[in-house]
Structure 1
């Protein structure tokens, strides 16, 4: 593969524009590299799945050809949510899977998320696939191919374990992503009354973008909740590994507050457990976990980093502000928005007014995730290095450097980190009141403009 394709090999996955940076031939080459790496790890079989994007079937065929060319067997589970592909790796005992997905990116994108021998590929291991192709270090062989449907096994595994105390009346907005084919089925089997919003799988995403992290994508769900007798709503991203939650009155319960509900539930059964959360999460989550007798652990943003930390610590739960929630208790430790939704339904079925419980969770003034464009690829990392070296934050009680700079103040926090996927700085702010929030933002504005006076800041 020509070196010009290097930009598709990202920190957490492989991702590019269909027909341009990501072609069928390139996917076949990547499949050959994945199969070759699998052979070196003594893996014999890889599960492959795909989301609802229009390029999915052709890419699945190319990926399968590439993997089999290395002598590795392929089990194709068809069009499914990303977590169903992870589930299949456990259920079919392969420990290895590749999901063809563009996640929450626009329709012209697609990509690959990869797991080999139980390890989610990230960072250097993804770059090693690129080097294999460039150096032609590829095994040759003839792997077999079979198709298998694991959706029923996935549904049964969840419904055999999760029980509702009463039927719930909910709305599911899948944004025409692949979760729409499965989540309503699951929740009805659990006993819910389900209204479907954009649950027809359509890779063009004709109604709104499937990314529940952005409030504008939840406008239709909020409107539907106000016009019906539904108790609350859930939403999914394009490949079903992230969960959005909206109350009856239209309040968005962001994932760091969802984590409060899940942590409280798990700590009842596993007192003193470690609960992992990412650097973008509210400071209220740590104090919430401590008050419940748990041990909060802050860690790096990124689903692969979270899974690795979960495995290292043996913790029952981890979660990110972006919506990736990882249950190890009663589940397998991978991020699964559909399963997280089922666990939320189980908890909320114990109360008469789910929205009241959700809205009573602690909160304080905060910003959503803010992005500062740094221009060209890599610029965000050099800017972050300068900031770490030169910035001074007056009145800070602690500066956490596990992933960028999270500056903790007595009355809030500010975060700046380099994105691992696009040339931007990611920021988030929180304060005990609007005055604190503005002061912390002012500190960060001064620090950033001292290092790079030409930056355009969104705060």
Structure 2
């Protein structure tokens, strides 16, 4: 077999290749520009693997969005030219983000590349993304993404073997000879198999299957994302959910024209189905499978912060945690403090991190934390190093199989035991970046002033006295790295909180997120209307931030 030639292609650096909280996300057309994808992949390999690049093994998968296949072939060609030894690739380039993490850990790979923009819409006129996961299976930490960004500013060439074309539509193992006597191998693997095997080690599938066979009605919506094959194989084939109850399970490049974000706005089809009262349990997943939304009968919505707290309070229902008792719990800073009270009552170590799953990975690797989540519909444990939508679904089904009651009753019992955090998030999408920066700058100056502490604000007949205003900074207890400017927090003396942060998940403009968190211990008030309960704090937040005046926005795009 003749050796394949390695070409060095000259190029000019591209501006703005700075990865956000989970990889580089840009408009699809940006990634389609000549040399753009190749340059960033080269930066990932050089900066992400360093002196471990030659002879390395990588796992590659994607959510099937537009440009997935073209980018995949470029990754194969560039990996070969950079003397990577082996790639494991999901069939048809499809592999969920949790499954990639699972496969990295199973194969003890050097890392992985995931082609996804997560819950962002896909298509020629929408978004694409590439992220790098390290050998622990988790997203690259800031020190690595900073190296990638620095290299992107000076890179003037990349290496590629343009002759290589691998058919990833069938399971196979292709061995190729590259010049300089380099052996390169591509193995196309089943997208679901290894992940399903891991789930069977964590959960009692027989107990869940018995729940479903007893007449407990389950429905799932994959939103035309990567989770379609996982829903069919795990929920339908293994656990007995009728395939007719599984919706939008064929992955599409544009997610069927929808927004693959499992919230009340974008997963409205599931909400409408659940409101009819036929199904006992409903779940929706995002584009790459790491996020989830849980609904009970009649459309009872489980707030993601509550979902995390409920799972933490019921770990005894999950066999994995019986064998491996949780070492600790963690949440991201904007997530409600519902988990805090579970940790306090159960005596577990507890951590509050910035937004971004990579911060949880360090704690897991140090064996001080086992269960964690974010308010943005992400929940997971130390079985992998990513949030995991199917894992959260199976955790809930395990709790329901154990308690033999409804989703709503599980949550009500939790509120009675721990009190309730009334919580909401307002998303203002695609604001002018300059306006977003102005809002955050002016608000930070206001809330960190010496005279802000102790001030009282009143709205809709309720008054709140300020305990502290701050810009959240995090010192990692494991590696002592410091992450600053992670969000603005106003904490009141009753421990209610107002939080503002600019999201790093969009590809254009700025997404301003406003979070309201209010704790209620009084059993007489735990069933109050959340919007009524939170209205005073929402009014105070809008007044203090001057959001309407600065951005011109009169209402959010999404309310969770």
| TM-score normalised according to structure 1 size | 0.88
Paired residues of 1:31 and 1:65 also in contact (CA < 8 A) = no
Paired residues of 1:243 and 1:338 also in contact (CA < 8 A) = yes
Secondary structure of 1:396's match? strand
| Mapped partners of 2:313, 2:226: distance in 1 | 30
Shift in alpha-carbon separation, 1:381–1:23, aligned structure 2, 3 A: same
Shift in alpha-carbon separation, 1:435–1:284, aligned structure 2, 3 A: same
Structure 2 match to 1:414: 498
Structure 2 match to 1:167: 211
Structure 1 match to 2:127: 109
Measured after TM superposition, the shift of residue 20 of structure 1 is: 3.0
Shift in alpha-carbon separation, 1:22–1:291, aligned structure 2, 3 A: farther
The answer to whether 1:147 aligns with 2:187 is: yes
The answer to whether 1:19 aligns with 2:26 is: no
Match of 1:191 among 220, 239, 254: 239
Q: Which has the higher strand share?
A: 2
Alignment of 1:246-285 (within 5 A): 246-266=295-315, 269=322, 273-285=327-339
Match of 1:317 among 347, 362, 371: 371
Secondary structure of 1:72's match? coil
Shift in alpha-carbon separation, 1:265–1:352, aligned structure 2, 3 A: closer
| Mapped partners of 1:262, 1:440: distance in 2 | 28
Measured after TM superposition, the shift of residue 290 of structure 1 is: 1.8
Bigger Rg, structure 1 or 2: 2
The answer to whether 1:70 aligns with 2:70 is: no
The answer to whether 1:37 aligns with 2:56 is: no
Measured after TM superposition, the shift of residue 381 of structure 1 is: 4.7
Query: What count of residue pairs does the alignment treat as equivalent?
Result: 454
Shift in alpha-carbon separation, 1:435–1:323, aligned structure 2, 3 A: closer
Alignment of 1:383-394 (within 5 A): 383-391=439-447, 392=452, 394=455
Unaligned runs of 5+ in 1: none
Structure 2 match to 1:219: 268
Structure 1 match to 2:511: 424
Alignment of 1:328-407 (within 5 A): 328=382, 331-360=383-412, 361-362=414-415, 363-371=420-428, 374-376=431-433, 380-381=436-437, 383-391=439-447, 392=452, 394=455, 395-399=465-469, 401-402=472-473, 403-407=486-490
Secondary structure of 2:390's match? helix
| Mapped partners of 2:117, 2:410: distance in 1 | 31
Match of 2:102 among 79, 87, 102: 87
Secondary structure of 1:366's match? strand
Deviations 1:99-142 (A, max 9, x none): 11121111131111211333622445224224324433878675
Secondary structure of 1:368's match? strand
Shift in alpha-carbon separation, 1:411–1:34, aligned structure 2, 3 A: closer
Secondary structure of 1:36's match? helix
Q: Which moved more, 1:272-281 or 1:244-253?
A: 272-281
Alignment of 1:198-209 (within 5 A): 198-206=248-256, 208-209=258-259
Deviations 1:119-166 (A, max 9, x none): 622445224224324433878675613123143222122124311423
| Mapped partners of 2:424, 2:290: distance in 1 | 23
Deviations 1:181-201 (A, max 9, x none): 112311235434241111111
Secondary structure of 2:499's match? strand
Match of 1:131 among 150, 154, 163: 150
| Mapped partners of 1:446, 1:13: distance in 2 | 34
What RMSD in Å do the two structures reach over aligned CA positions? 3.0
Paired residues of 1:366 and 1:430 also in contact (CA < 8 A) = yes
Deviations 1:217-274 (A, max 9, x none): 2321133234474321111000101111111110221211110122112378577842
Unaligned runs of 5+ in 2: 1-10, 160-179, 456-464, 474-485, 521-527
Measured after TM superposition, the shift of residue 87 of structure 1 is: 1.2
Deviations 1:325-360 (A, max 9, x none): 2201xx123221122222222222112223233441
Match of 1:181 among 196, 211, 229: 229
| Mapped partners of 1:111, 1:135: distance in 2 | 21
Structure 1 match to 2:139: 120
Measured after TM superposition, the shift of residue 57 of structure 1 is: 0.9
Structure 1 match to 2:545: 448
